[in-house]
Amino acid sequence: MTDPARMHAISHETTAIVEDVLDYARRRALYEDIPLDKPLNPRDLARLAPNTITDRGIGARRAAALFENVLAPACLSTDHPGYLSFIPSAPSKAAVAFDVIVSASSVYGGSWLEGAGVVYAENEVLHWLASEFGLPEGSGGVFVQGGTIGNLSALVAARDAARRRNRVAEVADPDRWVVVCSAEAHSSIASAASVMDVEVVTAAPDAGGRLHGDAVAAALDAHGDAVFAVVATGGTTNFGIVDDIASIASVTTERGVWLHVDGAYGLAAMLVDRMRPAFEGVEFADSLIVDPHKWLFAPFDACALIYRDPAGARLAHTQHAEYLDTLTDSADWNPSDLAIQLTRRARGLPLWFSLATHGTAQYRATIDHGIRLARRIADEIEARDGLSLVREPQLSVVVFRRDGWTLADYQAWSDRLLDDQVGFVVPSAHAGEPVLRFAIISPLTTWEKLVEILDTLA
């Protein structure tokens, strides 16, 4: 007979499993030289790691060895200093280590009743972020899985607020709700609109890619009361461009339309004093997001979603069910009620621990490293024959071209760079032109690393 408690009881077997796994976690977290690695095709993986799910199990030793020797090397290390595509990840050692504790502690982050201690700690971080962004006392939010869910949750709260306002005013809802954003807004806005079955109206940014209030005002003139929210981007993913949030906010404030700021990548830069003017107007946001798994040095996956009026968001998001009444009838702060989710991991805790450990000044300095390095390598690109910038960098994204190269040239170069395990830089595109893009997040990404990569473009 199989002992039902075999996996849970403390025994030689379970103790050895825990020790081996934690030992591996310890070694990986402390790697001096992080391997970049690269994907394998499904056929090779099936050959190297066949039939792992069996009736009797393959045992912890074998499963862990498969992970360390086959599966992990078939994954890019997103914290490698040469990983410069998309948005890299650069979790602090403290945050990585603490993520293990979040699992080991079996804490539940959805309600105050169950997780008061962790909810308190997450709120400490959210309140600090809210005050950095200039939001008033009383604002608050929740850590959700990522920017996509954060944007969706914020827009659902915005539409709910618009509906409630119409009900109070005894005004009929429009046939189709509209969200206004820049043509440069992140794809997750269109995705949210599709889930919500609302229309996206894109307002044209200026030649530099920034959206301004006048373009938003024109969109509001055209679509009137059907508009339930305007999205401004605090750092586009492709270029790191910050919209003219101040002029957009003056339009939304005047017309009484919800302003959402998508700062998934870029809003972290506001923690650097000299960058604050670029983000003027954020303080008028009704909701905003910033992803700690991007530029706040937390592991996957965490998005901080903050509302000016959490009570309104709660009306939009609280799930009601008989078995939940004991929670939802209380006045406690329940993070589950602020987004599209119910059961939730206390995913803000790794950031809390790292922030509490190192202090905010360290965060400001580490973010600043990326901005300064981007500026410096942009100047180097401009100085080199055959290379040119597509745009001046504003945050820590640098987009540039190699004169005369086709997409096929870029792709072949990119493949070689990965094969040689030097870096991960995939071709991107701008206005139909293939380009290269460095997104700099990690403080371990050095000037020398970037120059080494530029040298391969000669």
Ligand X SMILES: *Cc1c(COP(=O)(O)O)cnc(C)c1O
Q: Which stretch binds ligand X (CB under 6 A): 262-270, 333-341, 356-364, 404-412?
A: 262-270
* Calpha distance 111→332 (Å, rounded): 8
The span of 77-85, 91-99, 144-152, 200-208 binding ligand X (CB under 6 A) equals: 144-152
| 273 DSSP assignment | G
Residue 323 CB neighbour total at 10 angstroms: 6
Angle between helices 360-383 and 349-358 (to 10 degrees): 90
Stretch that binds ligand X, among 154-162, 261-269, 394-402, 408-416 (CB under 6 A): 261-269
Instruction: Between 212 and 402, name the residue whose CB sits nearer to ligand X.
Output: 212
**Residue facing ligand X at closest CB distance:** 147
Binding residues for ligand X restricted to 275-314, rule: CB under 6 A: 291, 303
Q: Judged by CB, which is closer to ligand X: 291, or 368?
A: 291
**Closest among 178, 172, 173 to 202, alpha carbons compared:** 178
The one-character DSSP state at 234 is B
The binding track of 52-71 with respect to ligand X, each residue x by CB under 6 A or -, is --------------------
Nearer CB in complex with ligand X: 92/182: 182
How many residues bind ligand X (CB under 6 A)? The answer is: 14
- Cβ-based nearer residue to ligand X, 144 or 454: 144
CB 278 within 8 A of CB 435: no
- Separation CA 102–CA 85 (nearest Å): 29
Q: Which of 77, 111, 182, 188 binds ligand X (CB under 6 A)?
A: 188
By CB under 6 A, is residue 88 in contact with ligand X?
Answer: no
**Residues 121 and 349 sit within 8 Å (Cβ to Cβ):** yes
In whole angstroms, give the CA distance from residue 280 to residue 71.
45
Q: Does position 355 bind ligand X by CB under 6 A?
A: no
Q: How far is the CB of 221 from ligand X (least distance, A)?
A: 26
Window of 11-19, 259-267, 331-339, 380-388 that interacts with ligand X by CB under 6 A: 259-267
184 counts as binding ligand X under rule CB under 6 A: no
Burial of 302 (0-12, 13-18, 19+ CB in 10 A): buried
CA distance 426 to 85: 6
Contact with ligand X (CB under 6 A): which of 143, 228, 258, 265?
A: 265
- Least Å distance between CB 302 and ligand X? 8
% helix, strand, coil for the chain, step of 5: 50, 15, 40
The footprint of ligand X (CB under 6 A) covers: 87, 146-148, 151, 186, 188, 233, 237, 262, 264-265, 291, 303
